[in-house]
Structure 1
Amino acid sequence: MWTIPKPRYRRGKEGEAEIAVNIGGVRVVLVGDVLNRYPESRLAELLNRSAQTHDDGDDTISSLCDDFDAARGEFYFDRDPDAFRCIVDVYYFDEIHIKRGICPICFIKEMEFWRIDQSALDECCRSYLSEKEVELKEIQGKVRVILEDAEGEPCATRSGRGKRLLWLLWKLLEKPGSSLPSRVVAIASFLFILVSSVVMCVGTIPELQVTNAEGKQVEHPSLEAIETACILWFTLEYLLRLASSPNKLRFALAFMNVVDFLAIVPFYVVLSLNFLGSTAMMELANVQQAVQALRIMRIARIFKLARHSSGLQTLTYALKRSLKELGLLLMYMGVGIFVFSALAYTIEQSHPETLFRSIPQSFWWAIITMTTVGYGDIYPKTTLGKCNAAVSFLCGVIAIALPIHPIINNFVVYYNKQKVLETAAKHEVELMELKSGGSPAKSCACARDGRSDTCNASSKRRLLEIQSGNP
């Protein structure tokens, strides 16, 4: 038995009301006056009810606890004693901290049982709770994806062969791990992206270009044919994915799909200007510049590789999480560039053959010096100018090195988190299949409801076990 100590100002008073509760086999004695600090809590109501009656058959007391012994004055609860140790602190300290090893989602259930508001949680525990809720939602999403891939059909019943074909087409194009044909399509798409990018680069080599009727250097016809074949593949792939998408608006607004669209559009715009536009219009300088700009936009297709590379996706997320550190880096570099370029311009003015004509021109020197590039096209010639250059590149190295560790740490944390979530999702799927008798359809029915208590409970346990290193 463990007893919460009475506050010092309460010691020495006789006849003070106390209540004995048994939480999962652990007996706890609590001071009644302290419990009344939260009169709407379960323990406070139980204290007041027990003081009013000693009848073993009191239905009110029975509704507040699992069992009670009137002779010993002890009330029994089949609850988690570790969680109760944390919750009882609110009566004495007006705040609750979740101890390490306790599932925060289950802890919230305990607080609801004891009728303690979540506002009593300390700020650090609230953020921890929010992180775990996000992780559990991600696990549930991964579980649905795994079950839908394993089942071969969406969880909801789809009427009509047309919708079933659209679903199979969606799986073929969007889920490379669902079947062998889908892997072949993903590899083919990856190769088309590489070939298109290589052709775009090779087409700029003067030796491989040909002269057209107007005497201008253009891409070789063979390279244009390969480019056209790649664009046709990208167009067909995009249209099929759009047609089979369950949510076409969401599909069209997704970032990677916008990249796909921007990689396709320039080809057709240039084609329209070439074949539908008049000769006089094509001779305008503005139109020619627009055509050239659209052709340059073909570089956007290289970002399509991120669709097939989890490593690029992880790197993108790490950079997104490191925007604060990157902003600090740009701020440090900006301040350093301004200061050292101004100093270099001022110091080098005494030299008759100075290369620093103005402070804006000195910005270029400060940039290549602080980043340790040093092209050598502009350099100081005085002794003080060289000392200023030495200090500038030392400061540049320090400024660049400072945010590197947080960025790397964000990458590692996200990568490890994804591995944990994938492992937890696989264990959850296995558990659901065992409970449903190995039927993916029944498992999928359980996964459809994101708030399923059974699914949530098993997800919480698996997540905590994996994170603690005991899968």
Structure 2
Amino acid sequence: MAGESRFPDVDSNGSEKNEDIEIIVNVGGARQVLYGENLNRYPATRLAQLINCLSGGYDTIFSLCDDYDPGKREFYFDRDPDAFKCIIDIYYFGEIHMKKGICPICFKNEMEFWKVDLKFLDDCCKTHLSEKKEELEEIARRVQLILDDLGVDASENRWKRCQKYIWKLMEKPESSYSARVIAVLSFLFILISSVVMCLGTIPELQIVDSEGNHVEHPTLDNIETACIGWFTLEYVLRLISSPNKLYFVISFMNIIDVFAILPFYVSLILTHLGAGMMELTNVQQAVQALRIMRIARIFKLARHSTGLQTLTYALKRSFKELGLLLMYLAVGIFVFSALGYTMEQSHPETLFKSIPQSFWWAIITMTTVGYGDIYPKTTLGKLNAATSFLCGVIAIALPIHPIINNFVRYYNKQRVLETAAKHELELMELYSGEGKVGGSKNELEDLMGEGKDRPSRSRQLKVSHSDTFIHLLSDQKHYRTRLQSCK
């Protein structure tokens, strides 16, 4: 900083009129001339405070900026110049738009530095910010889960350690070789059970019991019993080892597991005890209805398939598009079924007996299935049918692209989050050693496994000095400079 301190001329009251003050700010090498008339529109911001700090001495000035040249009346800031060019718009337009390519989290930190409220950020940019925050929360959650898996608390009793080991064994295939084997076995049992259920309906593989009824072959029945035994053991072990049993019980996938297991035991009870309480025919009908519920076990594959989980999430995020599709089809079905009924009334052998009955024809026509059980016989009816399936093709095709985009976006996002979590763990391992440039996984496990010293070691692991720093893993406040821009 140059020479003697020289501040701007002041009036007889000791201060220059703020509206007439002209200052120069240099943010990361980008110079900008600003006027008090514009800056005073938002007096709580850092730039507006620069005008009022000129008569307060260097201590006040340097509390707001990194450097100051009194000769040029120029303030220096070591901040991101691209973000500053966006933030400065608030003084001219009253709102802020984030440029494409700027990290939303970095931009939020820049706004906090310049003391600009987030309410001035445009709604479209707030959406990007919320998405990025959700991504960081997900990365932090995954990293914390991995750290918890690596950590062994010496204060825990033997049952707690055993419970955690069983939970990792049953729920986290990536944690060990044994867990991967159990996951593969569970997957195979699901497939075998589904195949046995299908084979049991083939008449050639069925046998006739003493009452003349066709029942499943005993071999298939034994295989089914073995599969149910595995599913039961798996569910009980997961329930016992679950850290949150209430959440475990009400989870959707675990409810599916119960519905896949329960019919076997209910039908077993009805077969052996129900005959004395109700007629044998009613018992057989109840058992048959319960055996149909075995199809629910195919949904157990979703627990072992990332692709099915991604598809489920994509459909969940596409409720709006699916709702539009159903609305288009509902309107088309009502219109074309009514037209078809009206146009076919003149034909003596019409198949359109009523408008509700015509709904079935409209559904299979608009979805291009066309069973042919109901079809028009008049010329106008055939024209109406041609128009209906053309409109059906268009109505179905319109929402397909957004649904596919949701699937691809979520699938790619999950891959990015997995890579980011691994990257963060590598950086934690790198900086966990005292003065060391590198580390190994064993060292990381040793750090996490120590007893009384674990909290301090854990804090060391949770502080990562990378460009992908996760604030959720640290209580400290960190701000990025322009030299630490997000990659």
256, 261, 265: which one pairs with 2:262?
Answer: 265
- Give 1:279's aligned residue: 276
- Give 2:304's aligned residue: 308
- Give 1:205's aligned residue: 202
- Is the aligned partner of 1:344 residue 2:340? yes
Q: Distance in 2 between matches of 1:14 and 1:180?
A: 70
- Give 2:330's aligned residue: 334
Deviation, structure 1 residue 146? 4.0
- Give 1:450's aligned residue: 472
TM-score, normalising length from structure 2? 0.84
Q: Pairwise mapping of residues 10-409 of structure 1 onto structure 2 (< 5 A)? A: 16-50=20-54, 52-53=55-56, 55-56=57-58, 59-148=59-148, 151=150, 153=151, 159-283=156-280, 285=282, 288-409=284-405
SS class of match (1:182): helix
- Give 2:431's aligned residue: 435
Quick one: percent identity of the two aligned structures?
Answer: 67
Deviation, structure 1 residue 211? 2.5
Q: Distance in 2 between matches of 1:219 and 1:284?
A: 17
Deviation, structure 1 residue 271? 1.7
Check whether the contact 2:106–2:486 (CA below 8 A) recurs between aligned residues: no
In structure 1, stretches of 5+ residues that fail to align are 1-12, 466-471
Deviation, structure 1 residue 38? 1.1
The one-letter code sitting in structure 2 at the alignment partner of 1:61 is I
Query: Structure 1 residues 235 and 411 mapped into 2: Cα distance closer, same or farther (>3 Å)?
Result: same
The one-letter code sitting in structure 2 at the alignment partner of 1:330 is L
Check whether the contact 2:140–2:473 (CA below 8 A) recurs between aligned residues: no
The one-letter code sitting in structure 1 at the alignment partner of 2:355 is I
CA RMSD in angstroms comes to: 2.7
The one-letter code sitting in structure 1 at the alignment partner of 2:223 is I
User: Quick check: 230-239 or 430-439, which moved more?
Assistant: 430-439
Deviation, structure 1 residue 45? 2.0
Check whether the contact 2:267–2:287 (CA below 8 A) recurs between aligned residues: yes
User: Quick check: 307-316 or 389-398, which moved more?
Assistant: 389-398
Check whether the contact 1:39–1:45 (CA below 8 A) recurs between aligned residues: yes
Q: Distance in 1 between matches of 2:241 and 2:476?
A: 33
The one-letter code sitting in structure 2 at the alignment partner of 1:40 is A
SS class of match (1:29): strand
Check whether the contact 1:86–1:98 (CA below 8 A) recurs between aligned residues: yes
Deviation, structure 1 residue 390? 1.7
Query: Structure 1 residues 132 and 216 mapped into 2: Cα distance closer, same or farther (>3 Å)?
Result: same
Query: Structure 1 residues 239 and 456 mapped into 2: Cα distance closer, same or farther (>3 Å)?
Result: farther
Q: Distance in 1 between matches of 2:385 and 2:365?
A: 7
Q: Distance in 2 between matches of 1:362 and 1:247?
A: 52
Q: Distance in 1 between matches of 2:414 and 2:18?
A: 58
Query: Structure 1 residues 288 and 32 mapped into 2: Cα distance closer, same or farther (>3 Å)?
Result: same
User: Quick check: 138-147 or 435-444, which moved more?
Assistant: 435-444
SS class of match (1:101): coil
The one-letter code sitting in structure 2 at the alignment partner of 1:224 is D
Deviation, structure 1 residue 352? 2.3
The one-letter code sitting in structure 2 at the alignment partner of 1:140 is A
Deviation, structure 1 residue 46? 2.3
Q: Distance in 2 between matches of 1:236 and 1:457?
A: 50
SS class of match (1:450): helix
Q: Distance in 2 between matches of 1:261 and 1:121?
A: 48
Query: Structure 1 residues 72 and 401 mapped into 2: Cα distance closer, same or farther (>3 Å)?
Result: closer
Deviation, structure 1 residue 306? 0.9
Deviation, structure 1 residue 454? 8.1
SS class of match (2:293): helix
SS class of match (1:68): strand
Q: Distance in 2 between matches of 1:463 and 1:183?
A: 39
